Structure 1
Amino acid sequence: MTEPLRIVVINSDLLVDDPQDAHVFSQAERSRSLRIGLLESGFNLVASLPADVYLTERLAQLQPDMIIVDAESDARDALEHVVMATRDERRPIVMFTNDNDSGNARAAVAAGVSAYIVAGLQTERIRPILDVAMARFQHEQALRQELAATRTELNELSAVLQDRKVIDRAKAMLMQRQQLSEEAAYAKLRKTAMDKNLKIVEVAQRMLDVADLLS
């Protein structure tokens, strides 16, 4: 049986200091509804944390599968803390907010948010939203890994081509100075490399360096 997703909710308004403050009270009720909805949907809510300077350390300890940012007026500040805290160990981030500013939504997605949900705290919506966010995150991670692998291959190919240029220059020098054929010049480089327990390109580079010093 698949283990339920381990989720951490980030909310800076965890405490209601003034019950007469309608805005703060409303935000607290939103947060409470979200946590109840997560539990009713079968998720493992491991913690509710403030977006503060200790967030990186706390996330490293808890190792959640997903992070939910529940924020309203301070959405951008909370998101910045979460993005910084997950910079070295990426995780899917879902943002629930009442902020319907399209500019903020675009900025959130650009920062790495997998889903930006406005006024979407209905319990029946939570699971499909998180499922889609997780699928999107996994797809993006696969693309990043593929891109990284391609870059590595290109770097390796570039290094091989560079080594070949060095060897070709050394061969050309031996052919000119010692009147050798191309095959004989390469054989000389290879024998020297075997005798000195070096790579052929290392022998070739040393020959070129000595030639430059003597020229």
Structure 2
Amino acid sequence: MASKLRITILEPDPERARMIVDGLCDAGDYSITIIGDETSLNQRLSELNPDVVLVDIANPNRDTLEQLSLASGAASRPVAMFVDRSDPDLTKAAIEAGLSAYVVDGLHKNRIKPVIDAAIARFNMVAKIRNERDAAKAALADRKTIDRAKGLLIAAKGISEDEAYSLLRKTAMDQGRKVVDVATALVTASELLK
């Protein structure tokens, strides 16, 4: 059985917080926590470790967006923000802060669940892209290290590029290591010998 989605709501107005909770309860079974003020927000969210953060704020500014993004861990969980009004600069700042959803004049009981679903979907999509980018960067770094090690072997042994790679691969297989690990060790050793 899947565990309940843990949602933390940042809302100072008890009446609006109740409306959000009611909207969530009508839409499903969630574990809901309400934070009524921003005091020690970072610590409290760290302790709660929610799956999703919902923020309702009447008139955000750039500082508020940055603070909420940092405190709520927008890079590690979906964050949806409801605002009463906005402008293009604040919308852009919200997106740059990593918020998964930025909804203007959207805090209506029947819209809360669809906004959460959209925020989760967008967060997952961005996380997948971020992971793919990081994997591509790591693969490129590994490739550069292997190429550097091959260059060292070519210079030291007077062999071809294919022979240098075969030597790296054979050494890796003999030692039960990855080719990139052997290449890294060779590059590191060559730097020590300079």
Q: TM-score when scaled to structure 2?
A: 0.75
Q: Which has the larger radius of gyration?
A: 1
Letter aligned with residue 127 of structure 2: Q
CA distance in 1 between partners of 2:103 and 2:37 (Å): 20
Secondary structure, aligned partner of 1:136: helix
Q: Deviation at 1:84?
A: 1.4
Letter aligned with residue 71 of structure 1: I
| Alpha carbons of structure 1 residues 145 and 203: separation in structure 2 relative to 1, 3 Å | closer
CA distance in 1 between partners of 2:152 and 2:127 (Å): 38
Instruction: Write the deviation string for residues 103-125 of structure 1: whole angstroms up to 9, x where unpaired.
Output: 21121011111111112222221
Letter aligned with residue 134 of structure 1: I
Find 1:50's aligned residue among 37, 40, 43.
37
Letter aligned with residue 190 of structure 2: Q
CA distance in 2 between partners of 1:41 and 1:161 (Å): 55
| Alpha carbons of structure 1 residues 76 and 205: separation in structure 2 relative to 1, 3 Å | closer
Equivalent residue pairs, number = 175
Instruction: Write the deviation string for residues 66-119 of structure 1: whole angstroms up to 9, x where unpaired.
Output: 001111134544432221124496110100110232221121011111111112
CA distance in 1 between partners of 2:57 and 2:192 (Å): 65
Residue matched to 1:150: 136
Q: Deviation at 1:202?
A: 6.2
CA distance in 1 between partners of 2:20 and 2:45 (Å): 19
Instruction: List alignment gaps of at least 5 residues for structure 2.
Output: 176-181
Kindly indicate whether residue 65 of structure 2 is the aligned counterpart of residue 97 of structure 1. no
| Alpha carbons of structure 1 residues 47 and 36: separation in structure 2 relative to 1, 3 Å | same
| Alpha carbons of structure 1 residues 204 and 165: separation in structure 2 relative to 1, 3 Å | farther
Letter aligned with residue 114 of structure 1: S
CA distance in 2 between partners of 1:51 and 1:162 (Å): 51
Letter aligned with residue 34 of structure 2: A
Letter aligned with residue 79 of structure 2: I
Following superposition of structure 1 onto structure 2, how do residues 131-146 of structure 1 map, counting pairs within 5 Å? 131-146=117-132
Segment of structure 1 superposing worse, 31-40 or 199-208: 199-208
Residue matched to 2:6: 6
Q: TM-score when scaled to structure 1?
A: 0.69
Secondary structure, aligned partner of 1:44: strand
RMSD across aligned positions (CA): 3.2
Task: Indicate if the aligned counterparts of 2:52 and 2:78 stay in contact, CA closer than 8 A.
Answer: yes
Residue matched to 1:39: 25
Residue matched to 1:115: 101
Instruction: Write the deviation string for residues 118-162 of structure 1: whole angstroms up to 9, x where unpaired.
Output: 122222211111111101111111111111111100000000001
Instruction: List alignment gaps of at least 5 residues for structure 1.
Output: 15-27, 173-181, 210-215
Secondary structure, aligned partner of 2:106: coil
Find 1:164's aligned residue among 131, 136, 150.
150
Secondary structure, aligned partner of 2:18: helix
